[in-house]
Amino acid sequence: MVIKFKTLLPLLLLFSLVHPHFAASIAQNINLTNINSIVGNCNLYKGKWAFDPSYPFYRSKSRAQPKGCPFIDPEFDCTNFGRADTAYLKYAWKPDGCKMPRFNGLEFLKRWRGKRIMFVGDSLSLNQWQSLACMIHAFVPNSNIAYTRQGTLSSVTFRDYRVSLLYYRSTYLVDIIGGVLKLDSIVEGKAWLGMNVLVFNTWHWWVHTGSAQGWNKMEYNGRQVKDMDRHVAFRRGLTTWARWVDRYVNPVVTKVFFQGISPSHYKCNGQKQPSAASATQVNMPQEAQIVYDVLRTIRKPVTLLDITGLSQLRIDAHPSIYGGAGAGNDCSHWCLAGLPDTWNQLLYASL
């Protein structure tokens, strides 16, 4: 039996008025002409940060915290590398007009028993992957866990529940072959198929230059160039990814998310509290608008984790000089515990 969307829509709208959290999860799919439009009064992405002493969900593993999270890379492990202030750990995102469901790692494991969840993207995806692994681990610290890091693929498996969290490193989502960034090719996408949840991210590497960019030329429609406007290149590459989703993803098997643009700040060292502004008061960068534009073209269901605005308010949450990888003043990534935990709460609410 086929139910037409026009017939189903009034029932969805009525249900969403009674259950606003349901509205938050569906609106990103059914109304990408206005990304933040939520039926009823609940928009999880419009709100403010508020101090909440019940946070954080977890601590990093140390001598003082032997049961702390063992998955955090040094570049995100701010407390173990000298950051003494702790207020940044205790801010919770408070949406306007509704309450965001609090994360429950045990409930997550039971609901997703036997499933595979993969984060695909650059080190911001790594940031979010490690955050989710830590959030779940806090609820089952004595669970039987398999943890592997090998090449482009890393995984944390909670064996008692057969739930696997995977991270696939793909900085551009499109291919780099022989030093050429191919804006219309995704061969590596074969590794992403068959997952139950895919969370994609890309942007930060698109502005890298010189030896840091990882390629020598760009190629599009069979024509190679030394370089091009990076926003133009980003739009073309992201459009290729969108076509890949439409062609290869089976929505019966796989839920697809796109992690919105994670903002960088400048001179973040010494910042100890978030901005008091609302997410609606920040300016959206051009790359975020490109994400909105491209997502509107996808026929398959894709949910946007629209993290840009709420993350722009958190200049205090970067590693700055406390990233253990010796990266200097890091104002691009985020401390763990920290802001990516909120991204995963939004993912949890959507799932």
The whole-angstrom separation of Cα 30 and Cα 34 is 10
**What phi and psi, each to the nearest 5 degrees, are found at residue 130?**
-65, -35
* Catalytic residue selected from 330, 332, 341, 350: 330
Burial class for 6, CB neighbours closer than 10 Å (0-12, 13-18, 19+): exposed
Based on the residue annotation, tell me whether 333 is a catalytic residue of this protein. Answer: yes
Amino acid at 232: V
Based on the residue annotation, tell me whether 330 is a catalytic residue of this protein. Answer: yes
The whole-angstrom separation of Cα 145 and Cα 163 is 10
The whole-angstrom separation of Cα 184 and Cα 175 is 8
Angle value at C-alpha 219, between 216 and 225, nearest 5 degrees? 65
Q: By the 8 A CB rule, do 174 and 234 touch? A: no
- Look up residue 311 and give its DSSP letter: H
Q: By the 8 A CB rule, do 163 and 86 touch? A: no
* Catalytic residue selected from 16, 60, 123, 350: 123
The whole-angstrom separation of Cα 39 and Cα 78 is 39
Q: By the 8 A CB rule, do 199 and 117 touch? A: yes
Pairing of strands 47-51, 217-220: unpaired
Q: Which of 335, 332, 293 is nearest to 317 (CA)?
A: 335
The whole-angstrom separation of Cα 195 and Cα 193 is 6
Tokens describing residue 308: 């840009």
Q: By the 8 A CB rule, do 244 and 186 touch? A: yes
* Catalytic residue selected from 137, 204, 318, 333: 333
The whole-angstrom separation of Cα 307 and Cα 288 is 10
Burial class for 201, CB neighbours closer than 10 Å (0-12, 13-18, 19+): buried
Catalytic residues: 123, 330, 333
